[in-house]
Each structure stands twice: as C-alpha cells, then as structure tokens.
Amino acid sequence: MDHAVVLAGGSGTRFWPESRTSRSKQFLDLTGGGPMIRETLDRLRPVVPPERLWIVAGLKDARHLSPEALGIPKGNILLEPEGKNTAPAIALAAAVTAFFYIPLWGVKALFSFNGDLIVVLYLLLIPSLTFFLGGWYSRSVYSMTGAVRSLVQLFAYEVPLFLAVLAPALLANTWSLSGVTAFYAARPALWIVNLLGFGVALVTLLGKLEKVPFDIAEAETEVVAGPFTEYSGQRLAFLRLTMDVEMIVASALLAAVFMPFGLNVHPVIGLVIFLSKILFIVFLVALARSLFARLRLDQMIEFCWKYLAPLAFLQLLLDLIVKGAIYR
C-alpha cells in the first residue's frame, strides 16, 4: 500500500520578496495552474488515492491548508509547531535503512528481496541530494557554491559507481545483495574477476563521501564548509553523522559485493572478519587523504567520465563474458 508524503515545511522565503514568512512559496501560484502545493497533489492523485496523501507543514501555514481546497482528509494534514530538521533526519534515516539490506557476517541480510541492491544504491543517493538541497536553500554564497559543486560531482561519480557495483550482480544473475553474497561465497575464486570493479567503486566512493581528492564541495580553503557553511548545532551534527554513517554503510556494501570471505563461519568470527573488511576499506579512504591533493571540479568530471566510466563498462563486459562461460 503506497502512501505519499508532501513535505511543505520550512520558512518558505526562497522566492523573496514574492514569498515571505507570512505566505510561503509553496502556496504561491507561479505557473498559473494554482498554488505549488495543489499542483503537487494533482500530480500524485493518479497513483495515490486522496486518503493516502499526507502533508507535513508548519503550524504558521495552517490557514493556507484547507482540506476541501486540497482534496484530502483533514486528518492527513500534519502541522509542526516548529521546524524538526526534517531533511537531515531523512538523510540519516536513508543511510541507516540501507544497512538493513546488506549481509554482515553471513550470506543473508536482515531484510532481503530480489532488487534490494538497487534500493540500497538509491538510499545512498538520498544523502547526497539532501546535502545539495541543504546548501542550495541557504542564503550564503559559499553554501550555494558548495551545493552546486556537490550536485555536479554526483553526476560525475554516480554512473561509474552504479556500473561497478551492478556488474558483479550481473555475473551472479541476481539483483539481491544476499543472492550476490551467496553466489560468491560458493565460488570465492571469482572475486578476482571483479577486482577492476572494486577499484572503480573505491575511487567513486571517495567522490560520494566527498573525501580527498574529491572534497571539492567542501573545500575549506575556498568555500569555507561548502553546503554546511550556514549550519551549526543539531542540524550540523545530523549532517556530519549522516556522512559518517554513509561511509560505514558504503564500505559494508563494497565488502559484501567484492570481498566474499569469511561468510560460512561462526557468527562471532564472521563479525570480526566483517569489521576487518570495513576497517580495511576505511583505511584505504583515509590513505587517499594523505596521498592525493584536491582536484578541480573539471578535473574530477574528466577523470570520472574519461577513465572510471570506461573501466566500469570494461568490468561489465568482463562479467558478461565470464557469465557466458559459466552458464554455457
């Protein structure tokens, strides 16, 4: 059963002077088709019935939220007395949720279904988009510059990362992480086939985590703290915690896909091996900080599309050839 939640909170002053605190941007008619919030609901109605449409907004906007005008039940309008740091919480929740679909010390994850690999990659994409939105909606030039850099980076590293991670799944003939892990646990010698993909995934992971040499969005000597320049306190803590959790989850994903070792052992021994694999990947990420200097944005884009993307395609082709030999 699908539900759709429209997040209509925030100060709503992005389009100042047209939008103000007393009349947030989501209630403006910018296209001639009615308020933005009603247009959003109209796009959702063909796929989600009105009783499963929800709106989360601030208490200050209650007078603009008429159930009759919006066409949803009154109980589906949730009003917050004050801001709840929704975006950082969503980013953290997405990163933590992805962890539940990754096998840890065995071949079976806590939750598993055919296609969960795609879901994990999607969930790890949400924090990057949240960082962009967080910086874009700040009024600091540094934040907006860092946000744009963050989004441009995403288009550079995301395709090679997806190809590198999906190639081993193609060889395993399943889109389930548990299925991929089980396949390579039964055929541990095949891990060497995906060694090129592991290298590509590790480099693109540096871009996703915005670590040196790809810490372009948060270049402290250029744009202070990038998208996070205007953040402090609880919001900044949530964003920083999200980045740390994302590093552990992404490392666990690479360990599950590319390091099928120590899976059919005692759970305690398996946990130790799993933590060792995580620490090894984190060590490689930290090592890059000491070995490389920050690249320019254009250099990163060229590097990802000129070298990493072709290498990822080569890994995909190699897995297809090996798959043809195995299932012939």
From start to end of the chain, where are the E strands?
4-8, 53-58, 77-80
Residues 210, 172 contacting (CB under 8 angstroms): no
pLDDT at 86 over 80: no
Q: Do 218 and 146 contact (CB within 8 A), yes or no?
A: yes
Is the N-terminal amide bond of 310 cis, ω within 30° of 0?
Answer: no
The predicted pLDDT at position 19 comes to 65
Six token digits for residue 50: 């009105």
77 backbone dihedrals φ, ψ, rounded to 5°: -105, 110
What is the mean predicted confidence (pLDDT) over 201-216? 91
Write down the pTM of the prediction.
Answer: 0.81
- What is the phi/psi pair of residue 106, to 5°? -135, -165
Q: Tell me which of 28 and 116 has the higher pLDDT.
A: 116
pLDDT at 212 over 90: no
Q: Which residue has the higher pLDDT, 228 or 248?
A: 248
pLDDT at 184: 92
Q: Tokens in use for 305?
A: 């599309």
- Residues with Cβ within 8 Å of 291's Cβ and at least 6 positions away in sequence, in order, are none
pLDDT tens-digit series, residues 248-301 = 999 999 999 999 887 778 888 888 999 999 999 999 999 988 888 888 989 999
- Could you give the C-alpha distances from 93 to 96, 98, 123, 125, 288, in angstroms and in order? 5, 9, 9, 12, 28
User: How confident is the model at residue 37, as a pLDDT?
Assistant: 84
Give the per-residue pLDDT at 13. 63
